[in-house]
Chains A and B, each alone.
Chain A
C-alpha cells in the first residue's frame, strides 16, 4: 500500500497530506506559517497543480469547437471533469454547470428567474426567503431580484447561540414564497443548518430551494439528491482547487426549463438575425469559452479529497474545532461567535478578543506567522445581529494540526499582553 492508501484506510495522515502542499513549509515573518484562513480560500496540493499543468502542456485547446485532436482531447477532459465534479456531490453530468464561483452560480439562478420564460414569474405579492446568516453572495442577488420584480424578500433570524431561529419558519416560508435560498454551513458562525427541515418546509409550500454549499462541500460528504434541494452552489478554490471555477448543480428538468442568464457562443442551438434558440443545460448556462483548465484542476481536487475520504477530513476537522473551541472557552477575555460545540458545525470559528479590534488581532497574529481572516466576512448582517463591528476567524482544514491550534491559542495570549488587556 502507498502511504496515501494507508492514510485513507486509517484516519487522515496529516503529515503525509502536508507534504502535498508546498506553501505549508514556508515561513512568514520568520515564523512557520500557520494557515487558518481556509474558509476564505484553501491552498492547492501538488497533484492538483500537476493535473492542470499536464493538461495545459499536453492537451490544451478550446472545447466544443473543433475537429482536431487537441480540441477533442480538451473537450473529453473537460466533460470528464464535469462528471467527476458532479458525482463528487452526488449529481449527474448534465446537472452541473461550471461557473466562475458561487457568486456567479447564485446570480445565474437569480437572473434566470427574473428573465422572460422563467419557471416562476416573480412579481409583487411573491416572496423570496433567505436567512440572516447568508454570505453577501447569497443575499444581495436576491435583494436585486426582489427590486427588479417587485417581489418581497424575507428572512429567518438567528438565535443568540448562532443557530437559525426556526420558530417563525412557517411564516417566513409560506404559500407566497417562490424561492428559499440558504447556506448549508455559515462562513462566519460555522453553523451547519438543518437542510432537511428547511427543504421540508419549502416543499410543503412549493418553493424552490437553493443551497450555498461553499463551506460544506470542501469539508464533509455532500449528496444533493439526499438533501432534496433544487439548486446547489459551490466553489473550487475553497476545496484545494483553483480560483476562477465554481459550479451550480440543478435538477435537469428545472435547468432545461430556465431561460439563459448570459448569451453568447456555445449556449445556442439555432441563431438567426431575428432571434435564437438555446442549447439544453448545462451548455445553456456556459456562454463563451468556459473555465477549461480550472475545471479540470477542480476535478483533480475532487479526486484528491475523495481519495483521502471526506469522512476522514470531517473527523479531523471536528477534532481541531473542538480543541479550538475548548481553548477559547478557557481563555479570559475571548469569546466565540456561533455554536460553541462541534455539533452541527463546520470548522470556521469566529472570535472576539475583548479590548482589541479584530484588525489589530489579525495583524498581530500575522506577525507571529498565523493567517486568520478579520472583518465582517461578507456577512455584515451577522455582525450587526451580534453587535460586533467585525470578528477574527480561524478556519481549519485537512492540513492543519492540533499543534497549530495550540500555536494560535498561545498567540492570542501574546496579543492580549501586547495590547495591554491581560
Chain B
C-alpha cells in the first residue's frame, strides 16, 4: 500500500519522532499551520554563536508532516546556520522535483526517504510544514542576534 510514499524510514520517524516536545531555552517560537488540512506545528529554535543549538517542536498532523519535522531536527541541530539553511534548500528542491531528482544521501540522510512524496503534490506541503517553520524561526533568531549586536555596538 503506497510503498513509494510511505517508506519505512518515514514510518519509523512517525512512530518514534526525534527531538519532539517543546524545550527551554529557546530564542524564537513560531506556530505554522497548513490551512488546507489543519496540520499544525510549533517550533522552537535556539541559535548560539551562529550554530543551531537546539530545535524542539510539538504538533499534530499526518505521518508525512510529523516524520519530516523529526528528520529536519536531526539534520539541522548542531549545524552552522548557513549549513543548515543549505540543507533546507536541498530538501526544498527535492520536494519540488516531482520525483525527478536523485537525492544526495550525504546531505539529506533520512530525508531522502521523502523523495517519493514529491510525486504527490497534495502531500508536499505536509512534508515542508516543519521545515518552513524552522526556517522562519531561525531567520527571526538570526535577525534578533544582529539587532542585539547592533544595540550593544551603539
Q: Which residues on A are within 8 Å of B, measured CB to CB?
A: 357-360, 363-364, 366-368, 374-376, 380, 383, 389-390, 414-415, 418
Q: Are B1 and A414 in contact (CB under 8 A)?
A: yes
**Nearest-neighbor residue (CB-CB) of A364 within chain B:** B1
Q: Which residues on B are within 8 Å of A, measured CB to CB?
A: 1-2, 5-6, 36-40, 60-64, 120, 123, 126
10 contacts between A and B (CB under 8 A): A357-B61, A363-B6, A366-B2, A367-B2, A375-B36, A375-B37, A389-B38, A390-B37, A390-B38, A415-B1
Q: Chain A's interface: helix, strand, loop or mixed, by majority?
A: helix
Which residues of A have CB within 8 Å of B38? Answer: 375-376, 380, 383, 389-390
How far is A358 from B120 in the complex, measured between Cα atoms in Å?
A: 16
With beta carbons under 8 angstroms apart, the residue of B1, B36, B123 that contacts A418 is B1
Q: Are B37 and A359 in contact (CB under 8 A)?
A: yes
How far is A414 from B1 in the complex, measured between Cα atoms in Å?
A: 9
Which residues of B have CB within 8 Å of A359? Answer: 37, 39, 61-64, 123, 126
Q: Chain B's interface: helix, strand, loop or mixed, by majority?
A: loop
- Of residues B6, B36, B38, B63, which shows the largest number of chain A Cβ atoms within 10 Å of its Cβ? B38
How far is A173 from B115 in the complex, measured between Cα atoms in Å?
A: 53
Beyond contacts A359-B63, A363-B120: 13 other A-B pairs, Cβ-Cβ < 8 A, are A357-B61, A358-B62, A359-B62, A359-B64, A359-B123, A359-B126, A363-B123, A367-B2, A375-B37, A376-B38, A389-B40, A415-B1, A418-B6
Q: Smallest CB–CB gap between B10 and chain A, Å?
A: 10
Which residues of A have CB within 8 Å of B5? Answer: 363
How far is A39 from B38 in the complex, measured between Cα atoms in Å?
A: 19
- Total contacts A to B, CB within 8 angstroms? 47
Q: Are B1 and A367 in contact (CB under 8 A)?
A: yes
How far is A107 from B79 in the complex, measured between Cα atoms in Å?
A: 50
Q: Are A389 and B2 in contact (CB under 8 A)?
A: no
Q: Are B60 and A389 in contact (CB under 8 A)?
A: yes
Q: Are B37 and A360 in contact (CB under 8 A)?
A: no
Q: Smallest CB–CB gap between B8 and chain A, Å?
A: 12
Which residues of B have CB within 8 Å of A363? Answer: 2, 5-6, 120, 123
Which residues of A have CB within 8 Å of B60? Answer: 389
Which residues of A have CB within 8 Å of B39? Answer: 359, 389-390
Q: Are B2 and A364 in contact (CB under 8 A)?
A: yes
**Nearest-neighbor residue (CB-CB) of B39 within chain A:** A389
How far is A32 from B120 in the complex, measured between Cα atoms in Å?
A: 20
Q: Smallest CB–CB gap between B5 and chain A, Å?
A: 7
With beta carbons under 8 angstroms apart, the residue of A357, A376, A415 that contacts B62 is A357
Which residues of A have CB within 8 Å of B63? Answer: 357, 359-360
Q: Are B37 and A376 in contact (CB under 8 A)?
A: yes
Q: Smallest CB–CB gap between A30 and chain B, Å?
A: 12
**Nearest-neighbor residue (CB-CB) of A356 within chain B:** B63
Which residues of A have CB within 8 Å of B36? Answer: 375
How far is A376 from B5 in the complex, measured between Cα atoms in Å?
A: 22
How far is A368 from B2 in the complex, measured between Cα atoms in Å?
A: 9
Question: Given A383-B38, A389-B38, A390-B37, A360 and B1 touching (CB < 8 A)?
Answer: no
Q: Are A374 and B1 in contact (CB under 8 A)?
A: no
With beta carbons under 8 angstroms apart, the residue of B1, B6, B123 that contacts A368 is B1
**Nearest-neighbor residue (CB-CB) of A29 within chain B:** B2
Q: Smallest CB–CB gap between B20 and chain A, Å?
A: 15
Which residues of B have CB within 8 Å of A368? Answer: 1
Which residues of B have CB within 8 Å of A414? Answer: 1
The 8 closest A-B CB pairs, nearest first, are: A359-B62, A357-B62, A376-B38, A367-B2, A375-B37, A418-B1, A390-B38, A389-B60
**Nearest-neighbor residue (CB-CB) of B4 within chain A:** A367
Q: Are A374 and B37 in contact (CB under 8 A)?
A: yes
How far is A285 from B5 in the complex, measured between Cα atoms in Å?
A: 48
Which residues of A have CB within 8 Å of B6? Answer: 360, 363, 418
